[in-house]
Amino acid sequence: MFIGHFAVGLGAKKVAPEINLGIFFIACQLLDLIWPVLVLAGIEVVSVDHLATKLTPLNFEHYPYSHSLLMTIVYSLVAGFFVGWVLKSKKLGVIVGMVTSSHWILDFVTHRPDMPILLSGQKVGLGLWNNLFLAVSIELLIFSAGIYLYLKSKTNMSQSRKIGFWSLIIFLLVIYLANVFGPKPPLDAPSAMIAGPALAMWLIVLWGYLVDRKTS
């Protein structure tokens, strides 16, 4: 899932408007922000397999440190306690922890059984990505709900904020549709060619932060 994760970050603003969208983007995408770093470091492995699923041609061969249930629980606890401690709010800590763990749940629904439970051993996944129409429809629906909730949390957005926000939404949609319907990477694409561009996710975090930051 891609924009579905961002939808959780956008929607979370309705529950905790005091937290900047950039923080929620880090939380909802933490696993995918860590993943390219580990792939480039040679710790996790990805390759191209055009038959992997109908939606993604990526074969996530080995990614227990970024995408196992065990590590997701660890990341969620760390993120939740850290935010709760910095903002001195148990409630905000719990919300950030839940947004962090939502990533694994959404990936579990969409991925084929390649999601590790522990660092080795059994892998799970419901494989929604094998039904292109259903996968894209559900993800677009979740994304729309996220946008709706975000806008409900923002009553008076300035014109420049609106432009920044909607260009971010359009940018995410274009990346998503290009990934789904665009040309697939070649079979012999090295890991770095796949993971390198994924690092750009950090720029989306920055974009979310800027769009949502408080003006004084």
Q: Between residues 30 and 95, which has the closer beta carbon with respect to Zn ion?
A: 30
Q: Would you give the distance in Å from CA 18 to the centre of its chain? A: 21
152-211 residues in contact with Zn ion (CB under 5 A) are none
- Give the amino acid at 211: V
Q: Identify which of residues 95 and 115 has a Cβ nearer to Zn ion in the complex.
A: 115
The nearer residue to Zn ion, 27 or 31, going by C-beta atoms, is 31
CB-nearer residue toward Zn ion: 84 or 100: 100
Interacting residues with Zn ion between 87 and 116 (CB under 5 A): 107
The CA-atom distances, in angstroms, between 17 and each of 58, 63, 91, 163 are: 35, 33, 12, 20
Q: What is the closest distance, in whole angstroms, from the C-beta atom of residue 71 to Zn ion in the complex?
A: 12
Nearer to Zn ion, 29 or 84 (CB): 29
What residues from 30 to 49 belong to the interface with Zn ion (CB under 5 A)? 31-32
CB of 33 to Zn ion, least distance (A): 9
Is residue 139 at the binding interface for Zn ion, with CB under 5 A as the rule? no
Q: CA nearest 173: which of 3, 8, 1?
A: 3
User: Minimum distance between the CB of residue 72 and Zn ion, rounded to whole angstroms?
Assistant: 10
Task: Annotate each residue in 14-33 with x if it binds Zn ion (CB under 5 A) or - if it does not, as one string.
Answer: -----------------xx-
Strands (E), the chain: 45-48, 58-62, 115-116, 123-124
Which helix (H) or strand (E) covers residue 156, if one does? none
CB-nearer residue toward Zn ion: 107 or 212: 107
CA distance 203 to 94: 25
For residue 60, the SS3 value is strand
Residue appearing with tokens 């961002």 = 6
CB of 30 to Zn ion, least distance (A): 9
Number of residues counted as binding Zn ion (CB under 5 A):
3
H/E element, 66: helix 64-67
Residues found near Zn ion in the complex (CB under 5 A): 31-32, 107
